[in-house]
Structure 1
Amino acid sequence: MDSAQKVVKPKDSKFKMRYVVLALVFVNIVINYMDRTNVSIAMPELAKELNLTTVEQGLIFSAFGWIYAAMQVPGGLLLDKFGSRIMYFISLFGWSLMTLFQSSITGFAQLLGLRLGVGFFESPVMPANNRAISYWFPENERGTAIGIYSSAQFLGLAFSMPILYAIHNSIGWRGLFIVTGVIGIAWAFVWYIVYSDPQKNKWVSQQELDYIKAGGAIFEEELPDEQPKAKVTKENLKKLFTKKLIGIYLGQFAISGTFWFFLTWFPSYLTEEKGMSLTSTGFLSSVPYLAAFVGVILAGYLSDHLTKKGFSKSMARKIPVITGLLLTLFIMGANYTNNPYLIIGFMSIAFFGNGLATITWVFVTLLAPNQLLGLAGGIFNLCGALSSIVIPIVIGFLVAGGNFSYALVFVAIIALIGACSYIFVVGNLEKEA
């Protein structure tokens, strides 16, 4: 059993700063994914106004991922150098400004450029989330913490989807970009004022600081001074491309593939393929996100519970991920019905599985060297970002004839490859020398 599990919790149970940090990260992610998905809500009307083809729509959906993927390693390096507080502020303010500017576009090229801008500024976000949680939470609470903040992308979208559709229906797609952009700009200042790493935080108690440190939270002074924290050297690259890490990189591409279908083409699938109205789509599309939220919360709780009960890390951490990837195959069931409730049912099972598998950030902390955590997180997120490029473009070509059937099969095959990667490539969850 890990030493982190033997640590006694601090006696004072009044105020826990680590829970405030978790709440901040949670809201960050809600805003982050709101600004990723607002273009998919706007797209049916926007595409008509700008006369966009399905291939052009696929390019718009994927534009975010081009520069987002390219900036993952540089973003990880900057994160290790400057920390989560400053990098997150710049990131949040920047992508929200790009979102605001989307309200004034008049053509394909402008929208493409601004989506590239959103991807550029969002690039450090997921490694920054993982870094903040790794610094603030002991290891035996980290799975639950990662599960909670990962759930924000699903819960936030589940509740915001009807609201975003209502905004779109009342003030149009330009108004939608204005509202979501302003919210992010305001929240950037809240983050900067409240967040700092544990040793620099004026609100954390000494008891809580001792507890999280004894439980395995990463502290800056514990990183070897003589070893550079994050340089792209041959030796460091060898450490970041072991068999186990390559396995989780492949798995992340697969898990993100399903998510990017829902984040980009799902509203168009419901309205154009299945003939649902924009009003009904706003409510029905929120159901799979709620299912995914349940999945990710269950994954974090179950994983930590099994760990505390003495199960091996491999069993406790991998079972939810593999099970979730296999459940994603249910997405193909929607090809065999036009009943809206059955369609949403199959989509909800698939997205529940995606949520169950989204706890994978814990593997970065378990397998990557501590001094390379930001860089490893950048590479890990790069692989997920690559799916944000591949999936929307491939689906754009697959649905050019007006049929989504092959697109759903494509998403299912990618998920199956991810499950095989965790079963046959990742193996035992121990850091490799």
Structure 2
Amino acid sequence: MTTLQNKPTRVRWLILAILFAVTTINYADRATIAIAGPELKRVLGLSPVEMGFVFSAFAWSYVLAQLPGGWLLDRFGTKMTYFFSIFLWSLLTVLMGTVGLVAGATALALLFGLRLAIGAAEAPSFPGNSRLASAWFPTNERGTAAAIFNSAQYFATVLFGPIMGWLVHSFGWESVFYVMGGLGIAISFVWLKTVYGPKEHPLVNQSELAYIEAGGALTDLESKNRAATSGTIRTASAIRQLLASRMLLGVYIGQYCINTLTYFFLTWFPVYLVSERHMTILKAGFVAALPAVAGFLGGVLGGLISDRLIKRGYSLSKARKIPIVGGMLLAMTMIVCNYVAADWLVVLVMSLAFFGKGVGALGWAVVADTSPKDAGGLSGALFNTFGNTAGITTPIVIGYILQQSGSFAGALVFVGANAAVAILCYTLMVGEIKRFEFKSPVHG
């Protein structure tokens, strides 16, 4: 009996499963506009540039709300801040389905406004994921944890891409927003009942707490007392010091480049399949799932490789950088699609590219490794601000490229070039990866 009592529980993996499920819904909700995009473009008569601005609307507010979202996480804790985030973005997704009730400029304005609101509502999501990974996982498991919740972006397409394509084909574009928004509202209440900090979770035992603490988990990060005192941080002073760090700035810029690939996939990729490769919307929904499967597998593998390297004695810096650099090299292969005609070859190359992007998407593990203890939400929010600025620029830049050239060739070069810049950031700028500590007081 004593042996059973002393055996560590594995509650951290339950927390990770919930993070994975919520992040899957998160990315599926983001992708609804891409799946419905070709039909919306036809119904509303939008130009490529107008469609680019609609695609980017989410990211404008998502970026602007990052720092307030991070402050809310540090001030009120992840559990309640994230609950309201999930519920609100899901309700707004349901309302997206009502755009068809109006017409013309009013419909376009409503579409743009709702996407802006969804972006603001989702702002605390990934900094919240990072905070929970820091609180629940030791260093030698954190890469795997971050890779798994981050790979949900691909799993969302694998699971929901075909479903959403079928919904548009069978019931019209409005149905996508009703179904996905309703699912998100349901999971927000699952979150409320299952997620706690390590020291407050009713299922965790002392053995698991001791194990994760010894491995570097910040187990008091989500405690009520900690959340209350974090509100005294002088935000402007903290941001200045974070941005003055060459290591962190390199990570932030690298994430912008990596997210350029993400937002191409979330916005223009289905349109690429329909307009450039002449697939039906239904077929595009299924075909888009294949690179997503590769991205999901690559994402999980990248975290496993990184943590395995740590266990074999490699430094934290090498263990994180090797998968990132190798993955981005593979991601650059998408440019090859400009030189092949067969659809199966395009799908194969895109699958290889997104496998590489998945392997290299370890930025959130690096944030969990480097964020200062008193400002994990703020650091994650700053990282996400840089990263998701790509959500503003990528759809618009590609829209202009398409309008000027009438082809996706330049767009694929643009996306591949960003992968190359990400490599330069991690090899030349980041240096040693370690937890950042403020050099002057930030508490008021």
User: For the superposition of Structure 1 and Structure 2, which TM-score range results when normalised by the shorter chain?
Assistant: over 0.9
Contact residue 75 and residue 231 of structure 2 kept, 8 A: no
How many Å separate the matches in 2 of 1:226 and 1:411?
42
Separation of aligned partners in 2, 1:158 and 1:10 = 40
Return the alpha-carbon distance in structure 2 between the equivalents of residues 49 and 228 of structure 1.
Answer: 47
Deviations 1:80-104 (A, max 9, x none): 0111110111100010011000101
**Residue of structure 2 in register with 1:361 after alignment:** 364
Equivalence for 1:12: 7
- After TM superposition, the score normalised by the length of structure 2 is 0.92
Q: Distance in 1 between matches of 2:140 and 2:98?
A: 47
2:206 alignment counterpart: 206
Q: Which consecutive unaligned segments of at least 5 residues does structure 2 have? A: 438-444
Q: How far apart are residue 391 of structure 1 and its match?
A: 0.2
| CA displacement at 1:224 relative to structure 2 | 12
Give the alignment of 1:327-338 within 5 angstroms: 327-338=330-341
Letter in structure 2 aligned against 1:204? V
Matched, 1:295 2:290: no
CA 1:42/1:74 → structure 2, altered by over 3 Å: closer, same or farther? same
C-alpha separation between the residues in 2 aligned to 1:164 and 1:269?
17
Map of 1:6 onto structure 2: none
Tell me the amino acid that sits aligned with residue 220 of structure 2.
Answer: E
* Superposition pairs of residues 227-376 of structure 1, within 5 angstroms: 230-234=233-237, 237-376=240-379
Q: Equivalent residue for 1:176? A: 176
Q: How far apart are 1:227 and its partner, in Å? A: 7.9
What's the counterpart of residue 86 of structure 1?
80
Find the residue that maps to 1:192 and give its secondary structure. helix
Q: Structure 1 residue 311: deviation in Å?
A: 0.8
Distance 1:392 1:239 in 2: 28
Q: Which residue identity does 1:65 align to in structure 2?
A: A
Moved more, 194-203 or 259-268: 194-203
| Residue range with higher mean Cα deviation, 246-255 or 168-177 | 168-177
* Cα distance, 1:360 vs structure 2: 1.2
- 1:78-117 counterparts in 2 under 5 A? 78-105=72-99, 106=102, 107-117=107-117
| Superposition deviation, residue 226 in structure 1 | 8.3
Q: CA RMSD in A?
A: 1.9
* Local SS of the residue matching 2:151: helix
Shift of 1:231: 2.6
> In structure 2, how many angstroms separate the alpha carbons of the residues matched to 1:395 and 1:236?
31
Q: Note if contact 2:209-2:219 (Cα within 8 Å) is conserved in structure 1.
A: no
Describe the superposition over 1:193-218 as per-residue Cα deviations: whole angstroms up to 9, x where unpaired. Answer: 11111111112122222222222111
- Per-residue CA deviation, residues 362-399 of structure 1 (Å, 9 max, x unaligned), is 21122221111110100001111100000000001111
- TM-score by length of structure 1 reads 0.94
**Which whole-Å CA distance do the structure 2 matches of 1:171 and 1:42 have between them?**
12
C-alpha separation in 1, matches of 2:213 and 2:122: 29
Report the count of equivalent residues: 424
The CA deviation string for residues 132-183 of structure 1, in whole angstroms up to 9 with x for no partner, is 1111112221111111111111123112211111111111110111000100
Percent of matched pairs sharing the same residue: 40
* In 2, Cα distance between equivalents of 1:224 and 1:20: 22
- 1:410 corresponds in structure 2 to 414
One-letter amino acid matched to 1:389: I
- Secondary structure in 2 aligned to 1:220? coil
Indicate conservation of the 8 Å contact 2:242/2:379, yes or no.
no
1:36 equivalenced with 2:30 (yes/no):
yes
Deviation (angstroms), 1:20 = 1.0
Alignment of 1:188-199 (within 5 A): 188-199=188-199
Q: In 1, distance between residues paired with 2:29 and 2:175? A: 13
Aligned equivalent of 2:154 = 154
For residues 165 and 271 of structure 1, the distance between their equivalents in structure 2, rounded to whole angstroms, comes to 12
Q: Secondary structure at 2:126's aligned position in 1?
A: helix
Choose 380-389 or 395-404, whichever is displaced more.
395-404
CA distance in 2, matches of 1:366, 1:137: 11
Contact 2:134–2:369 (CA<8 Å) still a contact in 1? no
Q: CA deviation at 1:10?
A: 9.0
The residue aligned with 2:441 is: none
Amino acid at match of 1:120: A
Paired position in structure 2 for 1:4: none
Give secondary structure in 1 for the equivalent of 2:314.
coil
Q: CA deviation at 1:225?
A: 9.8
Amino acid in the other structure paired with 2:308: H
Between 254-263 and 325-334, report the one with greater CA deviation: 325-334
Mapped contact 2:324–2:361 kept (Cα < 8 A): yes
Instruction: Measure how far apart 1:240 and its partner are.
Output: 4.3
Which amino acid counterpart does residue 418 of structure 1 have in structure 2? Answer: A
Q: Where does 1:417-432 land on structure 2 (aligned, <5 Å)?
A: 417-431=421-435
After superposition, the C-alpha distances for 1:345-367 in whole angstroms (9 at most, x for unaligned) are 11111111110111111211222
Is the contact made by 2:71 and 2:231 (CA closer than 8 Å) also made in structure 1? no
CA–CA separation in structure 2 for the residues paired with 1:176 and 1:236: 39
